[in-house]
Amino acid sequence: MIQAFLLSFKLAAITALVLLAFGVPLAYWLTFNDFRGRRLLEAVLLLPLTLPPTVLGFYLLVLFSADGPLGNLGLRWAFSFAGILLGSIIFSLPFALTAYKEAFRAIDPEVLDVVRTLGVSRWKRWRKVILPWIWPGLISGTLLAFAHTLGEFGVVLLVGGSIPGKTRVASIYIFDLVQALDFESAHQAAAIFVVLSLALIYAVRSLEEAWKSRIGSSIR
Amino acid sequence: MEIAYRIEHPLKLDVELQVRGMTALLGGSGAGKTTLLRALAGLVPASGRPFAGLSPEKRLVGYLPQGYALVPHLTAAANVALALHGEDESAVSLLEKVELAHLANKLPGELSGGQKQRIALARALARKPRLLLLDEPTSALDAVTRDSALDLLETISNKLKLPMLIVTHDPYVASRCNHVGVLENGRITQAGDPEDVFQRPATVSIAKMVGFSNIFEGVVSEVADNGILLAVGSYRLWVESVLRPPAGSRINWGIRPEEVMVVRADRPLPPELKNNVITVTVEQLQKRGAGYCLRLGGPLPLLMLLPRHVQDRLRLTEAAKIEVVLKPRYIHLFSSSV
């Protein structure tokens, strides 16, 4: 059980960090730039919200298989940690992206414009103006991606199967226990999940509240 | 400083304007005043002199938008410090210049509109700009704060010899500037001393901007050496003007509400003014500041502003029939009908 939970944490942590690293610039770009095809691009990025996890998992499996397009390039990631990591990133992207965009929308673009006219470099703008302004929003989006990845099941099952220590994350571990009719162990694992998820969502909500009151009081 | 800018998007502008000391940019809403300021700051693509082709970070321009755009999570001092790039001057000494050093550690949310504006000004000055751009600097301020803000701008303009372009729709602000330009239909339609623009607006729309509310049409019936005779309905108004429109042409004319005068029975008018006397009825009488605003009905629907001491003597009431005189030298002819 511990092994399964540790694997879940590892998967969720790496997914959340990857999303933080490229989701934040992506959200910034989508918030402050208008270009042809922006709406279509956003629709594609948000697709996993409505797509059944099995559909996403199925396509990834086909892509990664030995004679699939990615498999041909040497990315034979089916039934591997790399495979479920990529699946998790795609699957949690809409949540992180929406939260990040919400954070950026709180920034008055005119303030960024005027700060530019003060001769402040891009790097200094991020360090002194943008990040201190919206970091709670970025953290809450990242926590949300972490929590969402922890609770993921369908994509991981299809892409990764259930290989202990490699792809058998906690949610799949519970599924296996139930199938083996080991309800007592399933109960324990499920209870841990409830507590963990509640704590995470509570943290996300608290951050959002703290952030909103901050922005609310400081907005002109 | 001479500005020559051409903008294609979001609207077409082709502007040439001298910025001398405090220069007001007047114009109706949607005329593109803010777009021009943003273009000068490098935030809207444009071509022209000065600064063309430079990114906003490289232009020595101070830009104060309407909301002042202070960074909400930085203190007043930290906001000013954003514009300091290793200069000797400190943020606090810059705040001293706008008399707000005691508020250095306050967040923008804790400050009044006037204080925010001064801090934005200190921040813009920290950049050591060669041109200061201000968008409606007084629109959010009450009358007293407005005056002290204009005093401060005047001091800065005189002390630092810093040219300022001030977008405004307030004729009072424009009247306190050294130079005025009017932006209409994508170009400057009139520029000059505030007095020039206010007393001799080139077009009807400029006249409305600078406070002419009585604007009418007339036909030139006679042209003489020292003026013209203007047919307006059954009246023949005598007008002193440097314009010499041909007899028979239609022309717009106007008179300021404060220059419409009541004829007093105890003071007979000189005969040459008889032509310009109009009988009207007081339709509405309203207190306006320290005086009164009267809406007059009759052949010419006029607005008239009356100082309190005059009304105290005349004691006009609504529905009263009175005679007013439009003095020839206060009637203004517009060279264009636009």
Domain at B143, CATH number: 3.40.50.300
Classify strands B302-307 and B291-297 as parallel, antiparallel or unpaired. antiparallel
Whole domain around residue A66: which residue ranges?
Answer: 2-218
Residue ending a domain, choose from B145, B169, B201: B201
Q: Are residues B238 and B328 in the same domain?
A: yes
d(CA A127, nearest CA chain B) in Å: 11
pLDDT tier at A214 (50, 70, 90 boundaries)?
Answer: low
Closest-CA distance, B209 to chain A, in angstroms, reads 28
A121 touches chain B (CB under 8 A): yes
Nearest-neighbour CA in chain B from A114: distance (Å) = 7
Q: What pLDDT, on the 0 to 100 scale, is given for residue A82?
A: 92
- Does ipTM top 0.90? no
* Same domain membership, residue B217 and residue B194: no
CATH of the domain at B220: 2.40.50.100
**Optimal mutation site among A32, A111, A118, A212, interface B, most CBs of chain B within 10 A:** A118
CA distance B332 to B242: 10
pLDDT band for position A215 (cuts 50, 70, 90): low
* Geometric angle at alpha carbon A206, from A155 and B72, rounded to 5°: 110
Task: Please count the residue pairs, one from chain A and one from chain B, whose beta carbons lie less than 8 angstroms apart.
Answer: 81
The CATH number covering residue A59 comes to 1.10.3720.10
For B126-172, write each residue's pLDDT tens digit. Answer: 989 999 999 999 888 888 888 899 999 999 999 999 999 999 988 88
Residues B36, B94 within the same domain: yes
Whether A78 contacts A64, CB under 8 Å: yes
Q: What are phi and psi of B299, to 5 degrees?
A: -60, -35
Confidence of residue A175 (pLDDT cuts 50, 70, 90): very high
Has residue B287 been placed in a domain?
Answer: yes
End of a domain among B161, B182, B201? B201
Find, in chain B, the residue whose alpha carbon is nearest to that of A217.
Answer: B109
The answer to the question of residue B207 being in a domain is: no
* Residue B91, amino acid: A
Number of domains comprising chain B: 2
Task: Among B167, B201, B235, identify where a domain stops.
Answer: B201
State whether B108 and A220 contact (CB < 8 Å).
yes
What is d(CA B9, CA B292) in angstroms, rounded to the nearest whole number?
A: 45
Q: Taking the complete model, does pTM exceed 0.90, yes or no?
A: no
pLDDT over 60 at B337, yes or no: no
Evaluate whether residue B323 is within a structural domain: yes
Whether residue B20 is found in the same domain as residue B106:
yes
Mean pLDDT of A89-109: 93
The answer to whether residue B44 sits within a structural domain is: yes
The pLDDT tens digits of the residues spanning B235-248 come to 999 999 878 888 88
Smallest CA-to-CA distance from A14 within A84, A78, A100 is with: A84
CA atoms within 13 A on the CB side of A67: 0
* Nearest residue of chain B to residue A113 (CA atoms): B43
Give the confidence band of A217 by pLDDT, cuts at 50, 70, 90.
Answer: very low
Structure tokens at A163: 């290989």
pLDDT averaged over every residue in chain A:
90
Does residue B206 sit within a domain? no
Q: What gap in Å lies between CA B150 and CA A97, rounded to an integer? A: 46
Is pLDDT at B61 greater than 90 in this prediction? yes
Please state, in angstroms and as integers, the Cα–Cα distance from residue A171 to each residue in A50, A161, A192, B49, B262, following that order: 20, 12, 11, 65, 91
Is the Cβ of A163 closer than 8 Å to some Cβ of chain B?
Answer: no
pLDDT tens-digit readout, A38-94: 999 999 999 999 999 999 999 999 998 888 888 888 888 888 999 999 999 999 999
Question: B127-163 burial string, b = 16+ CB within 10 Å, else e?
Answer: bebebbbbbbbbebbeeebbeebbebbbebbeeeebb
- Average pLDDT (A172-180) is 94
Task: Tell me whether residue B338 is in a domain.
Answer: no
Whether B176 and B183 have beta carbons less than 8 Å apart is answered as no
- Per the document, the length of chain B is 338
The residue of chain A nearest to residue B58, with distances taken between CA atoms, is A119
Task: Provide the pLDDT for residue B144.
Answer: 85
B76 in the same domain as B116: yes
Provide the shortest C-alpha distance from residue B4 to chain A (in Å). Answer: 20
Structural domain count of chain A: 1
Domain holding B78, by residue range, is 2-201
Q: Are B155 and B18 part of one and the same domain?
A: yes
Instruction: Give the integer Cα–Cα distance in Å for B117 and A218.
Output: 16
| Sequence-ordered list of residues with C-beta below 8 angstroms from that of B50, at least 6 positions apart, any chain | B1, B3, B130, B131
Using the predicted structure, report yes or no on whether residue B100 has a pLDDT greater than 70: yes
Same domain, B185 and B42: yes
Are B190 and B220 contained in the same domain?
no
A117 and B123 in contact by Cβ < 8 A?
no
Asked whether the predicted pLDDT for residue A213 surpasses 80, the reply is: no
- pLDDT: which is higher, B285 or B271: B285
B47 and B177 together in one domain: yes
Contact B109 A113 (CB under 8 A): no
In whole angstroms, what is the distance from residue A216 CA to residue A212 CA?
6
Q: Would you call A214 and B73 a contact, using CB atoms and an 8 Å cutoff?
A: yes
Q: Does residue B194 sit in the same domain as residue B220?
A: no
Mutate to test the interface with B, among A112, A114, A123 (most CBs of B within 10 A): A114
Which chain B residues touch A118 with a CB distance below 8 Å?
Answer: 82-83, 123-124, 126-127
Half-sphere exposure of B276 (CA within 13 A, CB side): 24
Are residues A128 and B82, on separate chains, in Cβ contact within 8 Å? yes
Question: Residue A156: how many CB atoms within 10 A of its CB?
Answer: 27
β-pairing verdict for B22-26 and B47-49: unpaired
Q: What is the pLDDT of residue A76?
A: 83
Nearest CB to B109; choose among A129, A132, A218? A218
Residue in B closest to A219 by C-alpha = B72
Per-residue tokens: B242:
């440097």
Query: How near does any CA of chain A get to the CA of B107, in Å?
Result: 8
User: Which residues on A lie below 8 Å from B74 (Cβ)?
Assistant: 128-129, 132
Question: Are the beta carbons of B186 and B13 closer than 8 angstroms?
Answer: yes
Based on the domain organization, do B180 and B329 belong to the same domain?
no
With beta carbons under 8 A apart, name residues in chain B contacting A117. Answer: 41-43, 56-57, 59, 61-63, 127
Domain identity same for B117 and B12: yes
Is the pLDDT at B65 greater than 60? The verdict is yes
